[in-house]
Structure 1
Amino acid sequence: MSDAALPGAAPRTEPAPGARPVPFRGGGFRPTPRRWVGPLVFAALFAAWEAGSRMGWISPIVLPAPSEALEAFSNLARSGQLALHLQASLSRLVQGWIFGTLLGIAVGFAAGLFSLARAGIVPLVAAFFPIPKIALLPLFIIWFGIGEESKVATILFGTFFPTVIAVYGGVDGVDRGLVRMGQSFGLSRWSIVRKIILPGAMPAILSGFRISASIAIILLVAAEMIGAEYGIGAYVLLAGNLMATDQLVAGVAMLSILGLTVSWLIGRLEKRVLRWR
């Protein structure tokens, strides 16, 4: 007997002529990769910039053409100065970011897992995080000297606080039902942290890495502008003082490439660590 013959059964409705089927939405709004869009946008922007400069719409004094900035970049590479500036900046950035991140992860997990640590850490982070970290560079120079230590300390201090907030927020946002389920199965505290809390907090932690890396690059440039012989920040400051806009744009381009590289590396880390999503 068909369903339509059953007493009380709702009659079947046939789709209207010409009606389109509803697309399947089981992907959870997962973004589809479009690898060509980003390079195409950059190419269109630079092409418009170059065309505007060659046609005289953009003054070379105000903003030089991309070809002029590329020539300044090539001259910098041929002279050997590019390697010196990059080596100095990357050394400071890597040291400050890694040490600040490791310390921030430890303190953030302590605040997220232990009530006593949370009561002492959260007010301190709320008090110190809004302070512009570059304003503390003179104090770091007094403490550590004018050398590399003060610059690394500035980057470390600026990286530490957003990492603490990201880790603490990620740990605190893990579903408590999953934690209770782990406890009901007799998992130890360390197993719960390793198998439930850490994977659940990892998306927030990696988002914090992106923010802290951007802050680290900003502080790197500011610290090098105040007192450094070599570094991208020192090169940009010197180019600005000499009104060499082509070199200035080349230095800004180096910072942009550095930021894109860091973002790509963190993106690769996300794909590897968050494969379970």
Structure 2
Amino acid sequence: MIAAGFGIYAIAIPALLLVLLAGAEIVWPRRKLVLGRSPRWRTHALFFATNAVVGRLLSFLVVVGVAAHWASTHHFGVLNLVPLPFWVGAIIAFILLDLAVWSQHFAMHRYSFLWRMHAVHHADRDLDVTTALRFHPFELIMSTFFKSAIVALLGVPLLVALAFELWLNANALFNHSNIRSPRKLDRMLRPFLVTPDMHLVHHSTLVDDQKHNFGFGLTVWDRLFGTYRTESILGAENQKIGLAEIDDSRPSGFIWSIKQPIT
């Protein structure tokens, strides 16, 4: 019942945020787009649709919600073994899940077989809110099993696991958006949350920039592990987006993008 009821919010809130951020990008753009919105948006919509189907198929095996329910039913996982108030356990779970996502992202850049999947995301030569939808199905599958395993091992409560997924998706939409936010607001948020300007660095064509700012939600991990960078070494206004070896319109095509991990 919890998962079914929460599902409405898990769809409605990101959808509303996507529309709002897309509108804000038009009014207050951070950067001029190289390839424009079309056919990029069409390609990213196809990624979303494909991943929705893959996610549905995965639900017959395992998803984060199923892992959380299983852990609770079997009293499995660290948080189920330690008597803590619900709110304390929820905060700990959020922090550790965010660390797990940071670690997964770091691994995606470190190991070549994982990078082949993740490079599809980085191939986008522009960065806007729809780039948050541009993840290869292979990466979705790997990520789902990884997060489900972490949720089970930690014994994260179902409601907390679902809330984290919603929070993570909302953050991804926000920090991929092409919005020119006031510098004062950016400075206020950065000690805690990943901002669009901060994540922009990570999508640089420079490999050295790509090895920084792995966070999607909290900024503490990049600061703690020495991977935080304020802006590109070329400067925010001069950095290019995408992969250095791809300087044409191929990333805006769905077929080309979907084939990349196996070509």
TM-score by length of 1: 0.30
TM-score by length of 2: 0.31
Computing the radius of gyration from Cα coordinates, the structure with the larger value is 1
* Higher RCO by CA contacts (8 Å cutoff, separation 6 or greater): 2
